[in-house]
Amino acid sequence: MIDFSKFEEKVGISFKDKGLLTQAFVHRSYINENKDAGLDHNERLEFLGDAVLELITTEHLFSVYKQKPEGELTSYRAALVNAQTLSQVGTNLGINDFLLLSRGEAKDTGRARQYIIANTIEALIGALYLDQGYESAQKFVTSHIFPLIEELIEQKGFVDSKSLFQEKAQEEDGITPSYKVIKESGPDHDKDFVVGVFLNDKKIASGEGSSKQSAEQDAAKNALVKKGWS
């Protein structure tokens, strides 16, 4: 079994309930191959952590950016809690070295692994909230996620690509974009979507994501580049 004390040492947290910490790193695929391990997967913790993370982030943005309107704060929050940002945070923390995955999942180091790492960060926040309360979860998020805010703002990583592409398409071409799922794969708990963005019947670009919404954002971002509107 993986020695999670090394992870605790790295992030400066000591869990009271070590079982919660372990569960945060257990992917469903590991359970399918290790039914007698006596472990549960991390999806319920991920569900909780997602909500805790959103509240902590909302509270922080509301307090720090006092002059920003609601729409801009919403964009900042979306950029901070999306899979790409959380995956970056997880990679920085060495999450990959502690994941409990099936042999098949362990071989995949592409986009699917990014989503697993991001989901594990959410599960970890959920586990920390249950183990030590809101303030400890807040401290973790403040230390490891909030430092990315200024970089995201500077690089305009908070921009809603879908809204921007619609605005540009209507302005330049007089057309409202439409989106269509081109491909859907993976089990229910770990879906992957490929979505195309169209102007009339012409496909401009496609994008990929773990949800239709994230795939649409990716498609819009690619379309902005393709049309030279980024």
Catalytic residue at 122?
Answer: yes
Tokens of 65: 């950016």
Token pair in block for residue 226: 């393709």
Q: What's the Cα-to-Cα distance from 98 to each of 36, 94, 129, rounded to whole Å?
A: 20, 8, 20
Q: For residue 122, give the nearest of 190, 29, 53 by alpha carbon.
A: 53
Within 10 angstroms of residue 21's Cβ, the number of other Cβ atoms is 21
Q: Which of 46, 105, 122, 216 is catalytic?
A: 122
Q: What are phi and psi of 171, to 5 degrees?
A: -70, -45
The single residue of 46, 50, 105, 218 carrying the catalytic annotation is: 50
50 is catalytic: yes
Catalytic positions: 50, 122
